[in-house]
């Protein structure tokens, strides 16, 4: 894969939950270093798409590749064979995911939360990962909280720790599933600032968000989804300022009320 090749490609992806088509023939590609923001109403398939990329959900049709590798399956001739749980876990290391809820280990300190993955999954030397963990804490502005427990932190601080924990695994792509939606309004800015810094550093990011100002400022590309389909896609100035589709215009007007 060269620098001009997409690092994430979803090709005609369909995902059903019973009779509901959560994703209907969705295709998109994300270049290395890009920030892809996905917007749309609740139930439009945004989170499902992220969960499929991270292999928390299996797709029913189509294909997804991450860093040039077909995920979830191995192609043998004209047939696809499902990968084992161990192979899927290996592939999942390419992506780091930050959820709406922080999912931190409450019985571990902040630093222990960050180093747990590299220590137990990657089997890396403790001295190395402690130093890297402290550098990540510095990066998210929380080095003084290394020995605190999650319950002692605000929601914004917990989310910043969740971002640091995902980064500790050295993913090639960061996935954010509405990372500020569970936060009090005054705490949103501190999380978005960390994400701005991450984008400026060249990290490839796919961000499901209702923060249209953030998307306008940081996104390379904006996707508007509705009813499991991509309705409109393009640069932020086009999609957020001069949308072409009536459904996009209605959604943006409702969010900005």
Question: Is there a domain that residue 237 lies in?
Answer: no
How does pLDDT run across 45-100, given as a tens digit for each residue? 999 999 999 999 999 999 999 999 999 988 888 888 889 999 999 999 999 999 98
Average pLDDT over residues 233-255: 94
The pLDDT-based confidence of 4 (bands split at 50, 70, 90) is: confident
Question: Is there a domain that residue 92 lies in?
Answer: no
Question: Is there a domain that residue 73 lies in?
Answer: no
- The whole-angstrom separation of Cα 241 and Cα 257 is 15
How many structural domains is the chain composed of?
Answer: 1
Domain that holds residue 126: 107-170
Question: Is there a domain that residue 123 lies in?
Answer: yes
Place of tokens 């192609």: 75
- What radius of gyration do the chain's Cα atoms show? 18
Short-list 104, 97, 2, 18, CA closest to 53: 97
Task: Specify the pLDDT at position 251.
Answer: 95
- The whole-angstrom separation of Cα 129 and Cα 111 is 10
How does pLDDT run across 103-118, given as a tens digit for each residue? 899 999 999 999 999 9
Residue 249: exposed, middle, or buried by beta-carbon count in 10 A (0-12, 13-18, 19+)? middle
Tokens matching residue 69: 């590798």
The whole-chain average pLDDT of the chain stands at 94
Task: Specify the pLDDT at position 81.
Answer: 87
Place of tokens 């001739």: 77
- Determine the longest span between alpha carbons in the chain, in angstroms: 55
Question: Is there a domain that residue 53 lies in?
Answer: no
What is the percent of the chain where pLDDT is above 90? 89
- The whole-angstrom separation of Cα 177 and Cα 24 is 19
**Distant-in-sequence, close-in-space partners of 135: CB < 8 Å, separation ≥ 6:** none
pTM over 0.85, yes/no = yes
Question: Is there a domain that residue 133 lies in?
Answer: yes
Question: Is there a domain that residue 227 lies in?
Answer: no
Tokens matching residue 103: 């999912």
Question: Is there a domain that residue 241 lies in?
Answer: no
- The whole-angstrom separation of Cα 54 and Cα 100 is 15
- Give, in degrees to the nearest 5, the angle at Cα 43 between 38 and 44: 45
The pLDDT-based confidence of 28 (bands split at 50, 70, 90) is: very high
Average pLDDT over residues 247-254: 94
């Amino acid at each position: 894969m060269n620098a001009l090749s997409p690092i994430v490609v979803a090709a005609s992806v369909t995902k059903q939950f019973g009779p509901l088509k959560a994703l209907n023939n969705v295709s998109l590609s994300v270049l290395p270093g890009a920030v892809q923001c996905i917007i749309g109403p609740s139930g439009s398939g945004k989170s499902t798409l992220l969960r499929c990329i991270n292999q928390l959900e299996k797709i029913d049709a189509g294909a997804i590749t991450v860093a040039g590798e077909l995920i979830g399956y191995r192609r043998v001739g004209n047939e696809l064979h499902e990968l084992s749980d161990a192979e899927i876990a290996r592939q999942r290391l390419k992506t780091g995911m930050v959820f709406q809820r922080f999912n931190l280990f409450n019985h571990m300190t902040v630093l222990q939360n960050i180093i747990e993955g590299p220590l137990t999954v990657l089997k890396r030397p403790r001295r190395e990962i402690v130093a890297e963990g402290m550098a990540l804490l510095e990066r998210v502005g929380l080095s003084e909280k290394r020995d605190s427990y999650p319950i002692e932190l605000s929601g914004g601080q917990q989310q910043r720790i969740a971002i640091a924990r995902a980064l500790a695994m050295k993913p090639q792509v960061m996935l954010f599933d509405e990372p500020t939606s569970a936060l009090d309004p005054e705490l949103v800015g501190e999380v978005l600032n960390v994400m701005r810094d991450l984008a400026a550093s060249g990290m490839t990011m796919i961000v499901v968000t209702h923060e249209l100002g953030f998307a306008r400022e940081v996104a390379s590309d904006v996707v508007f989804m509705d009813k499991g389909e991509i309705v409109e896609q393009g640069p932020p100035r086009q999609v957020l300022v001069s949308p072409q589709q009536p459904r996009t215009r209605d959604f943006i007007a409702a969010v900005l009320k």
